[in-house]
Amino acid sequence: MKQYLLAVQLDESAPPESEAAVQAQLARTGKVTDEMKAAGVWVFVGGLQHSDASTVVRTPGGTTTLTDGPFAETKEQLGGFWVIEADDLDQALVWAEKCSLACEQPIEVRPFDDGSRRR
Amino acid sequence: MDLDGVYRAEYGRCVATLTRLLGDIGLAEEAVQDAFAVAVTKWDETLPPNPGAWIVTTARNRAIDRLRRESTREARHAQALLLHQSDELEEVGPVRDDQLRLIFTCCHPALSPLAQTALTLRLLGGLEVPEIARAYLVPEATISQRIVRAKKKIRDAGIPYRVPDAAELPGRLASVLTVLYLIFNEGYASTSGELLRTDLCADAVRLARALAELMPDEPEVLGLLALLLLTEARRPARVSPSGELVVLAEQDRSRWDRELIAEGHALVRRCLRRNRPGPYQLQAAINAVHTDGPSTDWTQVLALYDQLLAQNPSPVVALNRAVAVAEVHGPALALATLEHLDLPGYHLLPATRADFLTRLGRTAEAVAAYDEAIALAGNETERTFLETRRARLASTNH
């Protein structure tokens, strides 16, 4: 069993959606999460605030500095994510497809480092 | 068959089986290479009765030895797996399944197209990295990096070794067929340099044959094999003795390979009986018409292109269909069908337009279209062909 991060790639430069559209989207993603729980693959889910709410902490040479805003200035930001358990990538990809359909955003599928990568 | 022959024929099969036994492509390759190194010293003049089985058994024993010397958790796990395998390695069923599984792993759509191709040629075709690099005219380091990265991704991301289930199969099989088709195409009309790199064509045909043997009930697999065979059959006539490109209508049909054509036609008939036409089967059928009798029945070709365009409405198919339209309904109508095609950078669009314009007597426009095509053509043979056409046109009309 491996764990996979299903990360929502959110285009923050896109115009904001209507409240009704947001609610409909939340209902759809909630349904996918319920499906994951029923299938026994669900580990975690979370939606994130936009990246303008983020702060980056750096500690070069032991001195702490804070920076306002996201780590990298790109259009695509992490919008939210699921963590699931799956037998293999194919299973994770099936869930990623459901997630992408539900939130209408690209989903990056990334395996967790389970300590097996040594070579 | 000599050792090189055995290597090429058996390498993919042996790596596939060892991948099942060891659960890791890298370990499997090392073991198979070890076994071939032993074979070099042991086989002298005569080969064992079943060289493939000999390699698998030796590789398995070598892998056990190698794993015993290592003490990592992963090595102990792989060793336990190996020791509990029964000695039924020569059974046909599982060995065939091993190969099929490995094909689907190598052509997994989560890998980049170049990685899929390089892995397939390396693991299933038994090609060495320098051979692949030469075939694709890229530095060896690039190919070797792609292969290393792809194998690492297969392991780290958990790309499974299995044949996709019925629901996933159509999409995943399409990816396998695309890889084989692209390997053949790269050999047939390489994007740069020489027109024909026959080794890649032969490799693609060999792999397509293996796939057709593994999946005899998939009509698109048979269709791809038929398409490759019927295209390959015309290769001897495609380039003149002086190295110039010869168009289909002007080819010396006596130079076509009759055996390959007969095999291709038989496959197309098998597909027709299944009556589940797909893009590869339709392209094979078109090539069957081209290779049937003393000249092409263009009405039939056009009907097949109509069907293909309905299934796969791509501009390249539309362009090829236009050639059939020109033969059946004349160049004026054919030219009109090219108007809305968007194929930036593809030299065959202006080349085809140039041909239609020539036939319509619109010389100045034809010359301009040839100029555009010449600027875009990737390989020397095709460029020379287009320049010759353009020169002929200029001399007859000015």
> Which residues are within 8 A (CB) of A12 and not within 5 positions of it... i.e. 6 or more apart?
A50, A51, A75, A76, A77, A79
Closest Cβ opposite residue A89 in set B74, B152, B160: B160
Q: What is the pLDDT of residues B241-263, one digit of tens each?
A: 777 788 888 888 999 999 999 99
- What is the pLDDT, as a whole number, of residue B189? 65
- What is the pLDDT, as a whole number, of residue B238? 85
**What integer is the mean pLDDT of B268-273?**
95
Å from B216 to nearest chain A CA? 25
The residue with greater pLDDT, B275 or B85, is: B275
Q: What is the pLDDT of residues B158-169, one digit of tens each?
A: 999 888 888 888
Burial of B95 (0-12, 13-18, 19+ CB in 10 A): buried
- What is the pLDDT, as a whole number, of residue B82? 67
B92 pLDDT tier (thresholds 50, 70, 90): very low
Q: Under an 8 A CB cutoff, do B72 and A118 touch?
A: yes
Can you list the pairs that B335-339 forms with residues at least 24 positions away whose Cβ atoms lie under 8 Å? B335/B360
Report whether pLDDT(B81) > 80. Answer: no
Q: Under an 8 A CB cutoff, do A2 and B158 touch?
A: yes
- What is the pLDDT, as a whole number, of residue B164? 86
Dihedral over alpha carbons A58, A64, A65, A67 (to 10 degrees)? 50
- What is the pLDDT, as a whole number, of residue B6? 84
8 Å CB contact between A111 and B156: yes
Report whether pLDDT(B330) > 90. Answer: yes
Distance CA B206, CA B124 (A): 10
- What is the pLDDT, as a whole number, of residue B198? 59
Question: For residue A84, what are the β-bridge partners?
Answer: A4, A42
- For residue A116, the chain B residues in CB contact (below 8 A) are 74, 155-156
Å from B296 to nearest chain A CA? 45
Comparing alpha-carbon positions, the chain A residue that sits nearest to B154 is A89
Q: Under an 8 A CB cutoff, do A117 and B164 touch?
A: no
> Which residues are within 8 A (CB) of B254 and not within 5 positions of it... i.e. 6 or more apart?
none
- What is the pLDDT, as a whole number, of residue B185? 83
Question: ipTM of this model?
Answer: 0.85
The whole-chain average pLDDT of chain A stands at 92
CB interface of A with B, residues 94-113, below 8 Å: 109, 111, 113
Q: What's the Cα-to-Cα distance from B79 to each of A117, B30, B354, rounded to whole Å?
A: 18, 15, 65
Report whether pLDDT(B299) > 90. Answer: yes
Q: Under an 8 A CB cutoff, do A90 and B164 touch?
A: yes
Residue closest to B238 by CA, chosen among B91, B371, B381:
B381
- What is the pLDDT, as a whole number, of residue B84? 63
Report whether pLDDT(B93) > 60. Answer: no
Å from A99 to nearest chain B CA? 17
Closest Cβ opposite residue B158 in set A111, A113, A119: A111
Closest Cβ opposite residue B160 in set A88, A109, A117: A88
Residue closest to B280 by CA, chosen among B215, B325, B219, B200:
B219
Conformational region of residue A14, where left means phi above 0, alpha means psi within -120 to 50, and beta covers everything else: beta
- Is the CB of residue A88 less than 8 Å away from at least one CB of chain B? yes
Instruction: Give the H/E segment covering residue A78.
Output: strand A76-86
Distance CA B373, CA B346 (A): 8
Question: For residue A10, what are the β-bridge partners?
Answer: A77
Q: What's the Cα-to-Cα distance from A45 to each of A83, A103, B189, rounded to whole Å?
A: 6, 13, 49
- What is the pLDDT, as a whole number, of residue B187? 76
Proportion of chain A above pLDDT 90, given as a percent? 76
Å from A98 to nearest chain B CA? 15
The whole-chain average pLDDT of chain B stands at 87
Distance CA A36, CA A82 (A): 10
Comparing alpha-carbon positions, the chain B residue that sits nearest to A109 is B157
Q: Under an 8 A CB cutoff, do B160 and A87 touch?
A: yes
Closest Cβ opposite residue A117 in set B26, B156, B162: B156
The residue with greater pLDDT, A5 or A62, is: A5
**What integer is the mean pLDDT of A1-26?**
93
B83 pLDDT tier (thresholds 50, 70, 90): low
Residue closest to A86 by CA, chosen among B384, B290, B294, B157:
B157
Q: What is the pLDDT of residues A65-78, one digit of tens each?
A: 998 888 788 888 99
Q: What's the predicted TM-score (pTM) here? A: 0.79
Q: What's the Cα-to-Cα distance from B66 to each of B21, B26, B56, B59, B376, rounded to whole Å?
A: 14, 13, 15, 10, 53
Q: What's the Cα-to-Cα distance from B364 to each of A10, A83, B184, B255, B389, rounded to whole Å?
A: 52, 64, 36, 36, 13
The residue with greater pLDDT, B299 or B50, is: B299
Distance CA B329, CA B16 (A): 52
